[in-house]
């Protein structure tokens, strides 16, 4: 979990800590790469990002995120509230992949991805919701993916988890629209990160050729999109999916 200090706001986000990135890299799993965008988001606003070692502690031998559930999320939120008094922003950006075709995907593979990517957003949103309602203000941004819009061979679990965030976003937006809370979603396309750079050049060239802008997105462009949805200027936007993908999916 991390939080970002703004002038008068405090943001909480759930993400996979660096230790887990190392552990996942030794397994047939890939940690979704957007946690570091929160660092950049803090830099854009001129404030420090503080990381707390909560969130997904480890993956069990069956690939399931061990110890990751509502109780842990609620405990983390309670800790932040005790230390800082309030939370205004929640960015749900945790994610993992276990890429296999449906024929080869196990039930555990399915549940591991859904538990982190989709249930994680539910856990954190539920944990902070009463606090936001009580204050009459809140901003929740869920980080989805273009894969949730298009699907992808070998990623049925990941696509389901990311498209599930669309429904979660819209439903919670309806429930909180009169309570001073907005709930929106950002769906990034292919972003220029270390993980994408590791893709074979011929494969990456085909991906870029399929993007109307003929380039990968920049991490800053995702951070700016999230920042916009957190600002007061976006106060009349709720239940929306902001696709940042260079025109790859319209």
Token readout for 161 is 């988890």
Tally the domains of the chain.
Answer: 1
Tell me how far CA of residue 230 lies from CA of 6, 111, 183, in angstroms: 11, 30, 10
Among 9, 89, 123, 158, the one annotated catalytic: 158
Strands 65-66 and 58-59, sheet pairing: antiparallel
**How do residues 164-203 score in pLDDT, each as one tens digit?**
999 999 999 999 999 999 999 999 998 887 667 767 889 8
In eight-state DSSP terms, residue 89 is E
* Domain membership flag for residue 6: yes
With H, G, I as helix, E, B as strand and everything else as coil, classify residue 188.
strand
Rounded CA separation 8/167 (Å): 30
Whether the pTM exceeds 0.85: the reply is no
236 is catalytic: no
* Domain membership flag for residue 142: yes
* Domain membership flag for residue 249: no
> Is the pLDDT at 58 greater than 60, yes or no?
no
Do 162 and 117 form a contact (C-beta atoms < 8 A)? yes
CB atoms within 10 A of CB 137: 17
* Domain membership flag for residue 250: no
Expressed as residue numbers, the domain containing 218 is 2-244
* Domain membership flag for residue 193: yes
Do 90 and 124 form a contact (C-beta atoms < 8 A)? yes
Alpha helices in the chain (DSSP H): 18-25, 35-44, 70-84, 107-114, 120-135, 147-150, 156-176, 194-197, 201-209, 219-230
Residues facing 182 on adjacent strands: 139
Tell me how far CA of residue 104 lies from CA of 25, 63, 110, 155, 156, in angstroms: 21, 15, 11, 11, 11
CATH number at 151 reads 3.40.50.720
Do 113 and 24 form a contact (C-beta atoms < 8 A)? no
- Whole-number pLDDT of residue 198: 67
Q: What percent of the chain has pLDDT over 70?
A: 72
CB atoms within 10 A of CB 17: 21
> Is the pLDDT at 245 greater than 80, yes or no?
yes
> Is the pLDDT at 97 greater than 70, yes or no?
yes
* The CA-based dihedral angle spanning residues 67, 158, 183, 249, taken in that order and rounded to the nearest 10 degrees: 160
């Amino acid at each position: 979990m991390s939080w970002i200090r703004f002038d008068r706001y405090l943001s909480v986000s759930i993400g996979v800590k660096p230790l887990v990135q190392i552990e996942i890299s030794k397994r047939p799993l890939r940690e979704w790469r957007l946690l570091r965008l929160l660092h950049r988001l803090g830099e854009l606003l001129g404030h420090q990002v503080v990381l707390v070692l909560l969130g997904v502690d480890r993956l069990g031998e069956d690939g399931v995120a061990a110890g990751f559930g509502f109780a842990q999320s609620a405990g983390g939120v309670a800790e932040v509230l005790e230390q800082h008094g309030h939370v205004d922003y929640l960015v749900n950006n945790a994610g993992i992949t276990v890429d296999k075709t449906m024929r080869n995907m196990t039930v555990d593979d399915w549940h591991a991805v859904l538990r982190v990517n989709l249930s994680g957003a539910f856990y954190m949103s539920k944990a902070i919701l009463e606090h936001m309602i009580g204050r009459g203000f809140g901003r929740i941004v869920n980080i989805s993916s273009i894969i949730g819009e298009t699907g992808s061979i070998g990623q049925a679990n990941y696509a389901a988890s990311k498209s599930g965030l669309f429904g979660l976003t819209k439903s919670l937006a309806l429930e909180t629209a009169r309570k001073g809370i907005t709930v929106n979603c950002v769906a990034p396309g292919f972003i220029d990160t270390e993980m994408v750079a590791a893709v074979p050049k011929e494969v990456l060239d085909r991906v870029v050729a399929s993007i109307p802008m003929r380039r990968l997105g920049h991490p800053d462009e995702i951070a700016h999109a999230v920042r916009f949805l957190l600002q007061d200027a976006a106060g009349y936007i709720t239940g929306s999916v902001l696709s940042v993908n260079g025109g790859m999916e319209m």
